[in-house]
Structure 1
Amino acid sequence: MTILVTGSAGFIGFHLSRRLLERGDTVVGLDSLNSYYDPKLKASRLAILEAHKGYRHAKLDLADRDGVPALFAEVKPERVVNLAAQAGVRYSLESPETYVDSNVVGFLNILEGCRAVQPKHLVFASTSSVYGNHNNLPFNVHDAATHPITLYAATKLANESMAHSYAHLFGIPATGFRFFTVYGPWGRPDMALFKFTDAILKGQPIDVYGEGRMQRDFTYVDDIVDGLVAALDRPPVANPAWNSETPDPATSAAPWRILNLGASRRVELMRYIEVLEEKLGRKATINLMPMQPGDVARTEADTAETRAVLDYAPSTTVDVGVGRFVDWYREYYGV
């Protein structure tokens, strides 16, 4: 089938697009190839995708009110996966307008495109950041997430609500995935694993926030892609048991749902760094820093619902996943 993947030259979008192409789908990739991080890395990912005859690329900004609807009208995708977004919690403190343009205006353009062509399923990226300072671990989709503490998280929570309104009004089946700290080969240079690896290999110190005590549900990118692919072929239906007097935040009387995608295990940041040191064969010089604005102390995904709906079974441990990242990094950068 024909699948539109936005953010196809990005980290997760690249891995998903490659998986879909390998299984025989036609992929139309949308990516503006902006300079938020090294465009050469995006170009390298794109070159791999363009080597597949089933791939077509549209260099387009998601916020383009004319270009995005025109692409939908031309392609008429059967499935849509929206992974394009301005990412990063900390950068949202510096450039809030960028987040509204990409994550809110851009997502509205996606929804309007879906309204026009009626794909069988819209899958879109949300984030574990929507839980904010929620202290009930593991984070459960059936618990209300109403207090985001960064603009980035607020835009993603808005995406969930916007998709619900279009599912209710126009019957567009939509699944939103709350991703938990994704890592792996071809990752983003602004993420901790990439930054730590670069600094350690250069003999430079690394800044470790939260004094290293933060815990994250680090999730390997292939496990994320497993969930996305499983969802594509299983669009949601209205929950017949949904009750407006005791509303379930994760389902609806419309064909809409929210699911967590995580490894369902917490790893302390210092342990993550220890694994990286083992794989690199070098010790890090560590600067322990206080928590930054917008950071949370702990995250962990409750994936019981995801397992039940999609047979989701993440299996990659941090030891394996970090090792694969290091192998890729050394090969790609020749270090």
Structure 2
Amino acid sequence: MTKPWLNPFPLPGWPRTPMRPLCPWKNAGHRDFYVQVDDADFQFDDFTQQMGDLSALLSEGRLVLVTGESGCGKTALAHRCADWVVQEVDRRREDRELGPNARGLVLDLTGCLPDGPAQSIEHRAAHVCDELFGRLVDNEALRPQAVEQLSPDRDTPRRIYPRLGAALAEDLVLVVLLPTPGELAAEVIQYARAFAGPKVLFVAESDMLDPDEVADIVLQLEAWVPPLALHVGALREGDARRFVEDRLQRHSKVGGYPRMSDEAIDFLTGWARSVAQLQRTLHGTYESRRGRGLSCGEGDVVTVDDIVAFFNNGSRNELGKQR
């Protein structure tokens, strides 16, 4: 029986949105889809080692700052870190290292700021604080008495954040994915120094901060709890092949699709700078080949010509932009 034509590059649960980043705290099936590319695995290992037994997070709170070029996997790494915290809380609860009601909650506020003119740090912080309070109420994450006490100040960060750890439901650990900082260093420092509190992990990402600026932020916060800085970069030698081989071996039992020639993989190795470019090109090339009605038997392969055909027929000539 002929297997149906299958594009092997979308993520589980998101067949129509191939460019959405991995998000294991929403979809557990994504946990196995991380591939060791652009140094992300090493950065994740650094995160888990520094978080350790969660004692610093539980007592003081932490801030994680993920930096790197656009498309290099910052959001996927941030989601992986958030998911690890939730899983670690679950594990420590089961091992009775934490209370019987211990749980982790991730709130994604990355898209909560309104479109329009740039806002001051104070206006941004107030909007994020108000949105955070509403999400906490929706998730029953606050002690009932705290909701009543804090509601009048829900958009006042200096009133909410210092009380947030005590206001959270018993044994709840909170991970907040922040919008990309506007005034960058100043906003990051404010969250790390003025807003951080027990049981709360803030995670922010930026493609505007270079390593020297990150080092300066860490230095300015050395008397507080310094942020945990993670950096992902461009693809390295072997990353494209590792990514392609990982994805192509996952779906062979449920659908048919051609393999990729060594020349095509080498072509991508020399062209794609980021994992986002790689994913977009691979998904689009397979969709283009399927749309042209080409077969997907065992002897078929995706070639450099197929990649070029995708670029030439696409709405944007990505190949021309990169050359």
Answer whether TM exceeds 0.5 for this pair.
no
TM-score (norm 1): 0.29
Q: Which structure carries more helix by proportion?
A: 2
Pair member with larger Rg: 2
What is the TM-score with the length of structure 2 in the denominator?
A: 0.30
